[in-house]
A and B are shown apart, each in its own frame.
Chain A
Amino acid sequence: MNAPHSSARLPAPWGRLLDRSKPPVRFSFEGRGYDGLQGDTIASALLANGRWILSRSFKYHRARGPLTLAGQDANTLVQLPDEANVLADLHPIGKGLVVTGQNCNGSLDHDRDAILGKFSRFMPVGFYYRAFFKPRGIWKRWEPFIRKKAGLGELDLAFQPRYHDKAYLFADVAVVGAGPAGLAAALAAADAGAKVLLIEQEPMLGGSLNWARFDLDGNEAEKTRLLIDRATAHPGIRVLTGAVCNAWFADNFLPIVAGARLYKARAKQCVLAAGAFDQPVIFRNNDLPGVLLASAAQRLMRLYAVAPGKRAAILTGHDDGYLAALDLLDAGVAVAALIDMRPENDLHASPWREALAKKGVRVISGSTVYEAIPGKDHGRVAGIDVRHIRAKGQVEPWGEIIACDTLLMSAGYMPAWQLPCQAGGKLSYDDASARFSLSDLPDVLTLAGSLNGLYALQNTLADGEAAGHRAAAAALSRPAAAPARALHPEAPVNYPWPIFPHPKGKEFVDYDEDLQIRDIVNATRYGYRDIQLVKRFSTVGMGPLQGRQAALPTARLVADATARTVSETGIATARPPFMPEKLAHAAGRAFTPARHTAMHRRHAEAGAQFIPAGIWLRPAYYGNPAARERLIQEEAAAVRTGVGLIDVSTLGGLEIRGPDAVELLERAYTFAFARQPVGRSRYALMTAEDGVIIDDGVCCRLGERHFYVTATTGGVDRVYRGLTKWNAQWRLDVDIANVSAAWAAVNLAGPRAREVLARVCADIDLSPEGFPYLAVRTGTVADVPARLVRVGFVGELGYEIHVPARYGEHLWDALIQAGADAGIRPFGVESQRLLRLEKGHVIIAQDTDGMTHPAEVGMGWAIARKKPFFVGKRSIEILEAQPPLRKLVGFVLPKDGPAPLEGQLILDERGDITGSITSCGDSGALGKFIGLAYCAPEQAVPGAKLPIRRESAPGGRLLAEVVALPFYDPDNKRQEL
């Protein structure tokens, strides 16, 4: 149990985020029920109940309580039933919420793995890299143990994804951070007429105005809070609260996570007013429960009305520690002492120091906490060993023990450097004054407030206002407005060396990764001088919160150990995301376009099994997948013996019209079209400049200056782009329209196709003489306008019928009805592939690759060599002048042996690879396995044996026989019926 420090809530106005009018909210943690108030986070509610241990540390399983109370440390990571690694200081409580600890063996209060802390000297920095790989093979023994121990929370594998989505936002000026500087910037920009997006991570605007103290009586913050009301009511400002700007990308493209939504914001100008991180002091046991940042204690009191303890001490390196002490006193917390690391000589008289003195608070200057002493309350701090600072990082050998149950600490502030550095900014640190500065920022980005090293309230307001004016002027392309107000001088806020090594260690530099001072120093002794290498070797800054508190002390330690300045050392790269981001945010509302043909519904009704063809969905075959092979054979047989109908709407379609239409086709395709008669179609093969085949189709001449050209499903966009480019480049007078979507098309194929078509087509002479093979006709089919082409792709009498897409379903219905007596059967892509394979027709991009030129696939006949020019002509001539490297051939295998598979390798006699199978299938018409394959030219002889590598076959290969193409109907009598 861990609840003796129970503290009643402080009275209002403490607890700014609480709604005390609502009934308590009951939830559980580690199996025990707790009551919180509306507005509480899990952490604040637990702290209100005196529960301080929220987690166990990553490596040593040390008891941990909250450190920042702002979601900036891993000490508050807890487990929800369906979500691991939830930040308890950000996640609101809810009725019935079940919360447990994580990364413990037993319970949080009694973690059997806490003993690991006693062996820390046996787990030095980098021991993962060095301990588990020698002797050879030892990793196999370590791996199960480490896998079991590694990681923090547990995934719920039965988790059901929740709805996440994305949306775009647009603004003239985006302001990140709505503290005093951000509010001032947003208002200044909006008053200047800019459309402003104000992004705030907390649930309410105000930032430090909500919890910090800026003066003796605390009035200044309250007065300044009026800006919140102004910003909220301003029509030019869109406010996003509870929203984290997780990165800065070029041109102010800002990903913002807000609840279940990822906003993608684009702003003309961006003002970053993200504030600074309160920094811990590095001393022994600085991670005990009850030791927290001064700002965390102030947040706990002001936002959640919880006093952090009964008797507190404060360790500070700047004046804000005094203001925190005043807050503690106001909240009724006894202040045992304020320990100021600065030497007495450096301390100037200040009203708050006097105020503390008047209240009897002891101020110990030039001193530090050397060690926090755990008590019996589950290790919560019970006292501190205070020592006088003798020199940099060194203390006197004796000190004073002061009893306290809470220690507030603040060594200074480090600007939130992540987003500015992602924008290309350079973070510098002046070792003499311990001040940060950011420079080299892009023109579209302005910093304000603490990011500019300003902490005095009036300075941050003035700076924010100036930034807002500047950003608005730039966004609205106006001259810069009001000059910046003069800033008041400020005292330094960073104590230069708040690091105090202890012989017994446990002075934590990185809380997330349990890294102590010696871990960082030892990393440099192993030779890792570069901060990036220190990071990778020691894992500093690689924990859940990416080194918010560790970056500065690590830089200081590395600088000191390598005799450089902090600026020379630098800090590790802070890549996006700034805060943990769920994969769901990236996955939410992902668009996956899919195209349906006009007959899609009919296919679904007929039991089609769809496969993707590009983004189209096409019927693979119709019927039960369990009977796939049989169905494909039946569909193919229907086409060979009766009549079949396939939806070919996915074919590309291009309308080529105009005075230079013929000229364009002559130059773009390999074949000749100048003498192509109107009413005839012609095969159209396209090659690229390098002579490689890139597409094919059928070119139908509908008029002297009017062609309708088909293209492959996947290639039509490329063909369209190419034609359009050439049309412009060659300055031809042609109109090219991609009408692929506008035409629905079917192929009615089989010996009975003419008979079926005749029932729905009365205005076209369908006789073999009136409508011969390769002819093109226009007319009506089923009373709708149609273009018809006599094609032979599947090797039977066939009609490709194209109608406007709006009539596609009507056409399908009419043909199915007309063919009912003839046993018409819809067939899918699978049987079409088999049927065309029997005819030896290649499919571009299946039987060709990025190197295939026409001669390799026996398409020399499709080249008009007398033409003066076509794209690829010169390359083809060069290629054909070389000895051939490979040929595409047909092969057969007996049905009683193993079936070949696409992709299987073709070998020569020595076993060297000469090619591969591009297409193969079980030909019902031929009673054999058939296929197309690339092989060496000397193997491409009908009757030759073609070895196919197949490990399971005798000798590791099958022996196919090369045959002449086509396999089926070699005289092409059937398609020309």
Chain B
Amino acid sequence: MDALSDTTHRERLCALADLTNLPRLGLRGRTAAERLAAEGFRPPDAPNRLTRADSGETLLRLSQGEYLLLGSPADRGARVRALEDALPKAGENALYFLPRQDSHAWFRLGGPRRFEVMAKLCGVDLSPAAFAADAVAQTSVARINAVVANDGRGGALHLLFDRPSAVFFREALLDAMREPSAPRNRETACLVG
């Protein structure tokens, strides 16, 4: 089942989807924003913010000159994959490609209890009042570095973290989701990618 299309579950449950196989990439350098804009994306105005493209991609700005582009489930990341193929890897014109699909795993945590689950894993206040829609936090979650993005339009948190730690992190998340008072929380595998 494709968790992303299961809107009923998404609204009712705290659902974890593994989007690791969906394309994504990083860009860094003085011309990164310019290149992304040329590709039709809208770079966020400030670090630690995100924007969504109409075609479904999510663009995170991680620092003054670093961006993380998440592929869209709608086209299974085809647009981002094409950009990755086109980008120079050696670093040219102050534009540096970062292999984020391989360095980072990608989970999406949806459902109304997602903030509660994160409060069991992260010492930073990620409640809606403190962590607004379209905000990005680069912090420690379950003792590993993670990028947490509050996708307001998508109603979910994107979690990007060290790929080799995916087994550990998945267990940590599931443990946090297995709250006795929330027995309906569930994990769903994503077939995208």
Chain A interface (Cβ < 8 Å from any Cβ of B):
165-170, 195, 264, 266, 589, 591-598, 600, 616, 649, 655, 657-658, 702-703, 705-706, 735, 737, 739-743, 804-806
Which residues of the partner chain A approach B129 to less than 8 Å between Cβ atoms?
Answer: 195
* Minimum distance in angstroms from A775 CB to a CB of chain B: 18
When the two chains form the complex, which single residue of A167, A616, A737 contacts B119, counting CB atoms closer than 8 Å? Answer: A167
Q: Which of B67-111 contact A (CB under 8 A)?
A: 90-91, 94, 96, 98-104
Other 19 A-B pairs with CB < 8 A, given A594-B168, A742-B99: A170-B130, A264-B123, A266-B123, A589-B120, A591-B172, A593-B165, A593-B168, A594-B167, A595-B165, A596-B166, A596-B167, A598-B164, A657-B96, A706-B90, A706-B91, A739-B99, A740-B103, A804-B102, A805-B163
Whether B39 is near chain A, meaning CB under 8 Å from some CB there, is: no
Q: Which residue of B lies closest to A595 (CB)?
A: B164
Rounded to whole angstroms, the CA-CA distance of A598 and B163 in the bound complex is 9
Chain B 142-163 per-residue mask, 1 if CB under 8 angstroms from chain A, else 0: 1110000000000000000011
Query: Do most interface residues of chain B lie in helix, strand or loop, or is the interface mixed?
Result: mixed
Which residues of the partner chain B approach A264 to less than 8 Å between Cβ atoms?
Answer: 123
When the two chains form the complex, which single residue of A597, A649, A657 contacts B91, counting CB atoms closer than 8 Å? Answer: A657
Chain B 109-129 per-residue mask, 1 if CB under 8 angstroms from chain A, else 0: 000000000011111010101
* Minimum distance in angstroms from B142 CB to a CB of chain A: 5
Q: Which residue of B lies closest to A601 (CB)?
A: B167
Rounded to whole angstroms, the CA-CA distance of A255 and B78 in the bound complex is 47
Whether B29 is near chain A, meaning CB under 8 Å from some CB there, is: yes
Which residues of the partner chain A approach B49 to less than 8 Å between Cβ atoms?
Answer: none
- Using A596-B164, A705-B90 as known contacts, say yes or no to A166 and B98 having CB atoms under 8 A apart: no
Across the interface, do B119 and A168 meet the contact criterion of CB distance under 8 Å?
A: yes
Chain B interface (Cβ < 8 Å from any Cβ of A):
21, 28-29, 90-91, 94, 96, 98-104, 119-123, 125, 127, 129-130, 142-144, 162-169, 172, 175-176
Across the interface, do A594 and B165 meet the contact criterion of CB distance under 8 Å?
A: yes
Across the interface, do B91 and A593 meet the contact criterion of CB distance under 8 Å?
A: no
Rounded to whole angstroms, the CA-CA distance of A166 and B172 in the bound complex is 12
Rounded to whole angstroms, the CA-CA distance of A793 and B29 in the bound complex is 35
Which residues of the partner chain A approach B96 to less than 8 Å between Cβ atoms?
Answer: 655, 657-658, 735, 737
When the two chains form the complex, which single residue of B99, B104, B175 contacts A804, counting CB atoms closer than 8 Å? Answer: B99
When the two chains form the complex, which single residue of B98, B120, B125, B142 contacts A167, counting CB atoms closer than 8 Å? Answer: B120
Which residues of the partner chain A approach B91 to less than 8 Å between Cβ atoms?
Answer: 657-658, 705-706, 735
Rounded to whole angstroms, the CA-CA distance of A366 and B119 in the bound complex is 57
Q: Which residue of B lies closest to A172 (CB)?
A: B129
Which residues of the partner chain A approach B104 to less than 8 Å between Cβ atoms?
Answer: 741
Rounded to whole angstroms, the CA-CA distance of A600 and B167 in the bound complex is 10
Which residues of the partner chain B approach A741 to less than 8 Å between Cβ atoms?
Answer: 102-104, 162-164
Rounded to whole angstroms, the CA-CA distance of A195 and B130 in the bound complex is 11
Rounded to whole angstroms, the CA-CA distance of A170 and B115 in the bound complex is 12
- Residue pairs across A and B with Cβ atoms less than 8 A apart, 18 shown, are A165-B176, A170-B130, A591-B172, A593-B169, A596-B168, A657-B96, A658-B96, A706-B90, A735-B29, A737-B28, A739-B102, A739-B103, A740-B103, A741-B103, A742-B99, A805-B163, A806-B21, A806-B102
Which residues of the partner chain B approach A705 to less than 8 Å between Cβ atoms?
Answer: 90-91
Rounded to whole angstroms, the CA-CA distance of A649 and B102 in the bound complex is 12
Which residues of the partner chain A approach B120 to less than 8 Å between Cβ atoms?
Answer: 165-168, 589
Across the interface, do B102 and A743 meet the contact criterion of CB distance under 8 Å?
A: yes
- Using A705-B91, A706-B90, A805-B103 as known contacts, say yes or no to A170 and B167 having CB atoms under 8 A apart: no
Across the interface, do A742 and B103 meet the contact criterion of CB distance under 8 Å?
A: yes
Q: Which residue of A lies closest to B169 (CB)?
A: A593
Q: Which residue of B lies closest to A736 (CB)?
A: B96
Which residues of the partner chain A approach B90 to less than 8 Å between Cβ atoms?
Answer: 657, 702-703, 705-706
Which residues of the partner chain B approach A596 to less than 8 Å between Cβ atoms?
Answer: 164-168
Q: Which residue of B lies closest to A170 (CB)?
A: B125
Rounded to whole angstroms, the CA-CA distance of A165 and B142 in the bound complex is 12
Rounded to whole angstroms, the CA-CA distance of A592 and B165 in the bound complex is 11
Rounded to whole angstroms, the CA-CA distance of A804 and B100 in the bound complex is 10
Rounded to whole angstroms, the CA-CA distance of A182 and B159 in the bound complex is 38
Rounded to whole angstroms, the CA-CA distance of A167 and B103 in the bound complex is 28
Rounded to whole angstroms, the CA-CA distance of A789 and B97 in the bound complex is 22
* Minimum distance in angstroms from A740 CB to a CB of chain B: 8
Which residues of the partner chain A approach B165 to less than 8 Å between Cβ atoms?
Answer: 593-596
Q: Which residue of B lies closest to A616 (CB)?
A: B164
Rounded to whole angstroms, the CA-CA distance of A98 and B94 in the bound complex is 72
Rounded to whole angstroms, the CA-CA distance of A264 and B167 in the bound complex is 26
Across the interface, do A735 and B123 meet the contact criterion of CB distance under 8 Å?
A: no
* Minimum distance in angstroms from A265 CB to a CB of chain B: 10
Across the interface, do A168 and B123 meet the contact criterion of CB distance under 8 Å?
A: yes
Q: Which residue of A lies closest to B129 (CB)?
A: A195
Rounded to whole angstroms, the CA-CA distance of A200 and B96 in the bound complex is 54
Rounded to whole angstroms, the CA-CA distance of A27 and B149 in the bound complex is 51
Rounded to whole angstroms, the CA-CA distance of A706 and B99 in the bound complex is 15
- Using A168-B119, A705-B91, A742-B103 as known contacts, say yes or no to A589 and B164 having CB atoms under 8 A apart: no
Which residues of the partner chain B approach A657 to less than 8 Å between Cβ atoms?
Answer: 90-91, 96
* Minimum distance in angstroms from A927 CB to a CB of chain B: 39
Which residues of the partner chain A approach B130 to less than 8 Å between Cβ atoms?
Answer: 170
Across the interface, do A593 and B123 meet the contact criterion of CB distance under 8 Å?
A: no
* Minimum distance in angstroms from A652 CB to a CB of chain B: 12
Rounded to whole angstroms, the CA-CA distance of A267 and B164 in the bound complex is 35
Across the interface, do B142 and A593 meet the contact criterion of CB distance under 8 Å?
A: yes
Which residues of the partner chain B approach A703 to less than 8 Å between Cβ atoms?
Answer: 90
Most buried by A among B103, B122, B143, B175: B103
When the two chains form the complex, which single residue of A591, A742, A805 contacts B142, counting CB atoms closer than 8 Å? Answer: A591
Rounded to whole angstroms, the CA-CA distance of A167 and B176 in the bound complex is 9
Rounded to whole angstroms, the CA-CA distance of A657 and B102 in the bound complex is 19
Which residues of the partner chain B approach A658 to less than 8 Å between Cβ atoms?
Answer: 91, 94, 96
Q: Which residue of A lies closest to B162 (CB)?
A: A741
Q: Which residue of A lies closest to B143 (CB)?
A: A591
Q: Which residue of A lies closest to B30 (CB)?
A: A733
Q: Which residue of A lies closest to B179 (CB)?
A: A165
Q: Which residue of A lies closest to B144 (CB)?
A: A593
Which residues of the partner chain A approach B29 to less than 8 Å between Cβ atoms?
Answer: 735
Rounded to whole angstroms, the CA-CA distance of A481 and B21 in the bound complex is 54
Across the interface, do A742 and B119 meet the contact criterion of CB distance under 8 Å?
A: no
Rounded to whole angstroms, the CA-CA distance of A897 and B9 in the bound complex is 68
Which residues of the partner chain B approach A737 to less than 8 Å between Cβ atoms?
Answer: 28, 96, 98
Rounded to whole angstroms, the CA-CA distance of A933 and B189 in the bound complex is 52
Q: Which residue of B lies closest to A656 (CB)?
A: B91
* Minimum distance in angstroms from B129 CB to a CB of chain A: 7
Rounded to whole angstroms, the CA-CA distance of A703 and B167 in the bound complex is 35
Rounded to whole angstroms, the CA-CA distance of A596 and B143 in the bound complex is 16
* Minimum distance in angstroms from B47 CB to a CB of chain A: 17
Which residues of the partner chain B approach A739 to less than 8 Å between Cβ atoms?
Answer: 98-99, 102-103
Which residues of the partner chain B approach A735 to less than 8 Å between Cβ atoms?
Answer: 28-29, 91, 96
Rounded to whole angstroms, the CA-CA distance of A597 and B102 in the bound complex is 12
Rounded to whole angstroms, the CA-CA distance of A658 and B95 in the bound complex is 9
Rounded to whole angstroms, the CA-CA distance of A139 and B142 in the bound complex is 48
Rounded to whole angstroms, the CA-CA distance of A705 and B129 in the bound complex is 46
Rounded to whole angstroms, the CA-CA distance of A556 and B99 in the bound complex is 70
* Minimum distance in angstroms from A755 CB to a CB of chain B: 29
Which residues of the partner chain B approach A170 to less than 8 Å between Cβ atoms?
Answer: 119, 125, 127, 130
* Minimum distance in angstroms from B173 CB to a CB of chain A: 11
* Minimum distance in angstroms from B22 CB to a CB of chain A: 11
When the two chains form the complex, which single residue of B101, B119, B123, B125 contacts A806, counting CB atoms closer than 8 Å? Answer: B101
Rounded to whole angstroms, the CA-CA distance of A572 and B37 in the bound complex is 66
Q: Which residue of A lies closest to B105 (CB)?
A: A741
Rounded to whole angstroms, the CA-CA distance of A169 and B98 in the bound complex is 35
Rounded to whole angstroms, the CA-CA distance of A170 and B164 in the bound complex is 31
Which residues of the partner chain B approach A169 to less than 8 Å between Cβ atoms?
Answer: 119
Rounded to whole angstroms, the CA-CA distance of A589 and B168 in the bound complex is 13
Which residues of the partner chain B approach A706 to less than 8 Å between Cβ atoms?
Answer: 90-91
Rounded to whole angstroms, the CA-CA distance of A165 and B117 in the bound complex is 12
Which residues of the partner chain B approach A655 to less than 8 Å between Cβ atoms?
Answer: 96
When the two chains form the complex, which single residue of B98, B102, B168 contacts A805, counting CB atoms closer than 8 Å? Answer: B102
* Minimum distance in angstroms from B159 CB to a CB of chain A: 14
Which residues of the partner chain A approach B163 to less than 8 Å between Cβ atoms?
Answer: 741-742, 805
Closest 6 CB pairs of A and B: A657-B91, A742-B102, A595-B164, A742-B103, A170-B125, A805-B102
